[in-house]
Amino acid sequence: MSQSLPKTYKAIEVQSKGGDFKIVDKDLKLPAKNEVLVKVQACGICHSDSLSKDGIYPIKYPIVPGHEVVGKIVAVGDDAKEWKVGDRVGTGWEGGHCNACIPCRKGAFVSCDNGTINGVFKAGGYAEYCIIRKESVVRVPEELDAAEVAPLLCAGVTVFNSMRNTPAHAGDVVAIQGIGGLGHLAIQYARAMGFYTVALSTSDDKKELAVKLGANEFIGTKDVKKQVEGLQKLGGAKIILATAPHADSIGPMTDGLGLDGTLLVVAAAGPVTVNTNTMIAKRVALRAWASGSAIDSEETIKFAQHSGIKCHVERFKMNDVEKGYEKMMTNKARFRSVLVFE
């Protein structure tokens, strides 16, 4: 089943490791039996797109990046009839899973041993059309703005789903380290989840912004020791969510945790050094987390909708993809760069 479709469409490709973005014409293919074809309305530009662009993962070039996709279904495969032409949908990091490996059998689809990743190992959403495997399709409410929803499918679900899977309860001190693309969402989610929300920043001039986003307290200093002291004055944090990929400032944060606190890392910062001596005293845990499955993304979007959480975005047309990517990579986007297609 499909509606009238063009023969070709435009996509943004990276053609070799570290290569520039190129806009190319591609032949439009109908979805295979377990897939749907989506006309893309918006696709977020995420820091993890550098894994494709710079070949940090073993990429088969050319690749169309993009794993924060929102659009409308225009064709469905024979075995994907749970979805219909016209459905408003999206997809995130998890691009498909096997349903057979141990992580899948435990429901942790994003950790599937045989899974694929949108925009990394299969073509993603930097394009007018995108094929999505049926099990990674996320339902997106019709009334929401595509560009504002797109980053929730990766940045949003990463912060919301990681925090809700910790032992933190309403009223506990939860600190958000970094006020960038992930951090500005994390502050809003943490506050709406009932946590006593502390924003940690390296610069004092983000205070007004942090409070506006919902922070109960703000600690703005380059001195990590002072950030730690600030948290200890509050009795220590139950969770510190590290959203910025700076290994040097993540490790020392274990000292800012209270009893049974968790340093929750969602930023891919490489090797991090922690002090096990002080961690033992407070039974502190170090935990890492990757986004979530399609249903986690749906719940992330619903929670944002019901709680008035909003992703602040800068919109870019296909021709301006370099500009949007550069702003994201240099942390100058306020707060997420998003490609828009209509």
The residue from 28, 101, 108, 279 that contacts Zn ion (CB under 5 A) is: 101
Measure the CA–CA gap between 180 and 85, rounded to whole angstroms. Answer: 36
- Residue 140 phi, psi dihedral angles, 5° rounding: -120, 125
Binding mask 286-315 vs Zn ion (x if CB under 5 A, - otherwise)?
A: ------------------------------
What is the token pair recorded at 268? 């891919």
User: Which lies closer to Zn ion via its Cβ, residue 24 or residue 101?
Assistant: 101
Check binding of 97 to Zn ion (CB under 5 A).
yes
Stretch that binds Zn ion, among 12-20, 54-62, 91-99, 271-279 (CB under 5 A): 91-99
The residue from 59, 104, 163, 173 that contacts Zn ion (CB under 5 A) is: 104
Stretch that binds Zn ion, among 4-12, 93-101, 128-136, 261-269 (CB under 5 A): 93-101
Measure the CA–CA gap between 151 and 330, rounded to whole angstroms. Answer: 17
The residue from 112, 153, 224, 304 that contacts Zn ion (CB under 5 A) is: 112
CB of residue 24 vs Zn ion: minimum separation in angstroms? 23
CB of residue 157 vs Zn ion: minimum separation in angstroms? 9
Stretch that binds Zn ion, among 13-21, 106-114, 205-213, 230-238 (CB under 5 A): 106-114
CB of residue 191 vs Zn ion: minimum separation in angstroms? 22
Q: Assess contact for 91 and 138: CB atoms under 8 A.
A: yes
CB of residue 288 vs Zn ion: minimum separation in angstroms? 15
Provide the phi-psi class of 30: left if phi over 0, else alpha when psi is between -120 and 50, else beta: beta
User: Which lies closer to Zn ion via its Cβ, residue 182 or residue 199?
Assistant: 182
Measure the CA–CA gap between 93 and 292, rounded to whole angstroms. Answer: 8
Q: Assess contact for 118 and 70: CB atoms under 8 A.
A: no
Check binding of 337 to Zn ion (CB under 5 A).
no
User: Which lies closer to Zn ion via its Cβ, residue 48 or residue 52?
Assistant: 48
CB of residue 254 vs Zn ion: minimum separation in angstroms? 26
CB of residue 216 vs Zn ion: minimum separation in angstroms? 28
CB of residue 26 vs Zn ion: minimum separation in angstroms? 23
Stretch that binds Zn ion, among 75-83, 99-107, 258-266, 281-289 (CB under 5 A): 99-107
The residue from 5, 85, 98, 234 that contacts Zn ion (CB under 5 A) is: 98
Instruction: Tell me the one-letter amino acid at 26.
Output: K
User: Which lies closer to Zn ion via its Cβ, residue 108 or residue 279?
Assistant: 108
Check binding of 48 to Zn ion (CB under 5 A).
yes
Q: Which long-range contacts (CB under 8 A, 24 or more apart) does 301-308 make?
A: 301/138, 301/140, 301/141, 301/144, 301/149, 301/152, 301/153, 301/156, 303/160, 303/189, 303/192, 304/152, 304/156, 304/188, 304/189, 305/141, 305/144, 307/188, 307/189, 307/192, 308/192
Hey, which residues between 138 and 167 contact Zn ion (CB under 5 A)? 154
Where does the chain show beta strands of DSSP type E?
8-14, 21-27, 35-45, 69-76, 88-91, 94-96, 116-117, 129-133, 138-139, 173-177, 196-201, 217-220, 237-242, 257-265, 285-288, 313-316, 336-340
- For residue 160, the surrounding DSSP H or E stretch is helix 155-164
Hey, which residues between 214 and 233 contact Zn ion (CB under 5 A)? none
CB of residue 100 vs Zn ion: minimum separation in angstroms? 6
Measure the CA–CA gap between 49 and 11, rounded to whole angstroms. Answer: 15
Binding mask 167-206 vs Zn ion (x if CB under 5 A, - otherwise)?
A: ----------------------------------------
- Residue 158 phi, psi dihedral angles, 5° rounding: -65, -45
Q: For binding to Zn ion (CB under 5 A), which residues are involved?
A: 46, 48, 97-98, 101, 104, 112, 154
